[in-house]
Amino acid sequence: MKYILIDADTGIDDSIAILFALKRKDVRVVGITTGFGNTNARQAADNSLRLIQLSGVDYEVPVAVGATGPLVGEWEGPVPHIHGHNGIGDAQIPASSQQPLEEAACDFIIRMAKEYEGKLTLVTLGRMTNLALALQKEPELPRLVKNVVFMGGTYHAPGNVTPVAEANIAGDPEAADQVLQAGFDITMVGLDVTQKVRLTAEHIEKLDKYAAPENRPIVDYLKQAMPLYFRFNRQQNNCLDHCPVHDPMAMLTVVDPALVTTRRMPARVECGGNFCRGMVVTDLREYPMDAQYLNICVDVDGRKAVEELLTTFMD
Ligand code: BDR
Ligand code: CA
């Protein structure tokens, strides 16, 4: 069994990652923490609670609200043109009677790390602010958790918010650099792989046809949410009814590491600069700079990844 704590800015691709994890028999989601990004942290928590209920998962998944902005500077605000006004593509799914915890996300992360000492994988799908705050309170965190897998950054692929930076890292570079240098066993699932994995309108049709009966609410949700995401990708990236698979790819990497090829490289996050703020700077020199080594995903079996994602929702 894989014990996972998910930290998300619960938007459309986060929601697919969350539903996928909740549906896996080999995964136990010990909780979800939320932060700002695609939407605000409270809305992200509300979305997460709705998705937990929608999934029909048969155990309790606590949700804790986290950071409302980055460690340095101001949050630029949500992105309704990508993720809708509610963060989940303006899809209407039933509200949950479950409430978020009173406990702050960073405290919940520390508590779960201790409860599942040595067994917990932290999967971050948004800014790393909650994890950086947890580290500041509990510097032993890298020793307490098994590993960290994060969706974010890019090694060779172009950035998606600046020429060289990806949104989750650019949204809080200071937090990301603190986490990357803290001593975790850490894997970067960045744009080099997520851009190579494509979800298409045909895939949603296939799900509509073959989804297990108990997953009908999930398919109905995806049919509501995905058109907006496809439209953004069409307008922004010339994608005709397809989109990259960002956050679900991080979850897929956790459940099936053989899907990706990784390379160990020392890396830092650029926290200054006019053009490169938020860039993940890797050092391939023989005598590299003093930086922590990351497992950076450099390639992926995209067809297999999508099949594994979709079949999880099928009979
Ligand atoms: C990342 O940014 C967010 O918009 C997505 O949910 C994903 O986590 C992609 O750059
Ligand atoms: Ca995300």
Q: Give the C-alpha distances (Å, rounded to integers) separating 39 from 11, 24, 45, 130, 178.
A: 7, 26, 10, 15, 23
Evaluate: CB of 154 within 6 angstroms of ligand 1.
Answer: no
Report which of 72, 93, 315, 283 is spatially closest to residue 210, judged by C-alpha positions.
315
**Which pLDDT does position 177 carry in this prediction?**
98
Q: Does 246 qualify as catalytic in the annotation?
A: yes
Evaluate: CB of 106 within 6 angstroms of ligand 1.
Answer: no
Helix, strand, coil tally for the chain in percent (to 5): 40, 20, 40
What fold is seen in the domain 2-311? Inosine-uridine Nucleoside N-ribohydrolase; Chain A (3.90.245)
Instruction: Reply yes or no on whether the pLDDT at 136 is more than 90.
Output: yes
Can you tell me the mean pLDDT for 70-90? 97
Q: Enumerate the domain spans of the chain.
A: 2-311
175: buried, middle or exposed (CB in 10 Å: 19+, 13-18, 0-12)?
buried
Per-residue model confidence as pLDDT tens digits over 14-72: 999 999 999 999 999 999 999 999 999 999 999 999 999 999 999 999 999 999 999 99
Instruction: Reply yes or no on whether the pLDDT at 81 is more than 90.
Output: yes
Q: What percent of the chain has pLDDT over 90?
A: 99
* Index of the ligand 1 atom closest to the CA of residue 79: 4
pTM: 0.98
Instruction: Reply yes or no on whether the pLDDT at 134 is more than 90.
Output: yes
Q: Which of 43, 246, 249, when mutated, tests ligand 1's pocket best, judged by the most ligand atoms within 8 Å of its CB?
A: 246
